[in-house]
Amino acid sequence: MLKPIGEGNSRLARSDWLGGRKKPPLLRTRELGYGVLERLGFGNRAPEATGLPGAMLSEVLLVSAPGKVILHGEHAVVHGKVALAVALNLRTFLRLQPHSNGRVGLNLPNIGVRRAWDVASLQLLDTSFLGHGDSAALTAKHVEKLKEVVGFPKDCVDPEHLAVLAFLYLYLSICQSQRWTEENLELINKWAFQGERVIHGNPSGVDNAVSTWGGALRYQQGKISSLKRPPVLKILLINTKVPRSTKVLVANVRSRLLKFPEIVAPLLTSIDAISLECERVLGEMAAAPTPEHYLTLEELIDMNQHHLNALGVGHASLDQLCQVTTAHGLHSKLTGAGGGGCGITLLRPDVERPEVEATKRALSGYGFDCWETSVGAPGVSVHTAASLDASVQQGLDSL
């Protein structure tokens, strides 16, 4: 059984995920991922993963990847319809730093995790069941076996254990691969997808794809393609902080479809049409955006939100969010599973700064967290220390 050691060792090599300018509240990992849709706070709240072998990394490596929101197609995508996902300009930063103390460590302060292991102990583990080659297919049996190997309870489903499990799976698998390079985006995407499978079981692949390639993606029935030259859209990302289960919500939509097929099936078809129309409009905007384009996007947002409510994935908190932004002349919808969670609000170019600030204050007044950002951000990127924003560099240096 594998035991963590060196819980308080401050000399561990580091990989630090940071982003943003202000400290957010603690968010649920299974809802937003490890800092992907949030701006992680600085100092002792910045997650760390430590200890790649020196043979794999000879100097400090700084990389980042964007977060993601679904523009249109939530739930309908589960039933073979189109979904549009876009990369957020809220980024997770990762710092990898080699160390020769013979340990590999993981520090995720945002969820209260700090672990360290002897590299030698990890190398002695029987990981033959993981398979070989580039991101070999991961199954539920593999995950259960990994829990057994590292000494985790079989029934552990909390974010803390799953975060550690995903890290150990990726570490053990990547370290036995001889072909891994950070430049290979395809391989990065495959490994990221495997980490998603450890956490979520049967993910769509959209999250890891958007964070790897950035921009905007079209997803349908397992096929992912990039939208060419998507326009940069300014939005508000709002976290209602209402927890929900994606699995339960997806199951509820399926039950409603079986109970009312002639009602729900047309809703899903209509959501599909909304996604396709949005794709068409975004394509036109890449060449020459007009005020009419933004008005169309707002209409699509409103229609999709009503459809999602009809599917049963709305929530009082999301209704409140939409009412607040409507009062300020803005248009919003849920993004993701619904039932709480997050929503997005489109910011037209003609919206005045005082109106934006007033909207943010009103949303905060209801206890929501609100970030002003944009979509269509670059994918995973390598940085030099000199290229980092001063606030990000300050956060890294404070660790």
Cα gap 327→366, rounded to integer Å: 14
CB atoms within 10 A of CB 182: 14
What is the spatial distance between Cα 75 and Cα 70, in angstroms, rounded to a whole number? Answer: 10
Q: How big is the chain by its Cα radius of gyration, in Å?
A: 21
Grouping H, G, I as helix, E, B as strand and the rest as coil, residue 320 is: helix
Helix axes 206-213, 185-200, angle to 10 degrees: 150
Beta carbons of 212 and 192 less than 8 angstroms apart: yes
As to burial, measured by CB atoms within 10 angstroms (0-12 exposed, 13-18 middle, 19+ buried), residue 359 is buried
CA distances (Å), origin 133, targets 28, 53, 181: 32, 19, 13
Q: Is the dihedral of CA 113, 159, 336, 283 positive or negative?
A: positive
Q: What would you measure as the largest C-alpha separation in the chain, in angstroms?
A: 64
* Structure token digits, residue 383: 């940085």
Is 378 exposed, middle or buried (CB count within 10 Å of its CB: 0-12, 13-18, 19+)? middle
Question: Do residues 66 and 210 make contact, with C-beta atoms less than 8 angstroms apart?
Answer: yes
Choice among 118, 134, 155, 207 that is catalytic: 207
Containing H/E element for 341?
A: none
CA distances from 99 to 47, 66, 76, 116 (A): 18, 27, 47, 13
Q: Distance between the two ends of the chain, CA-based, in angstroms?
A: 30
Coil, helix or strand for 16? strand
C-beta separation of 43 from 398 below 8 A: yes
Determine the Cα–Cα distance for residues 112 and 286; give it in Å rounded to an integer: 43
- Our answer to whether residue 207 is catalytic in this structure is yes
Residues in the chain, overall count: 399
Catalytic residues: 207
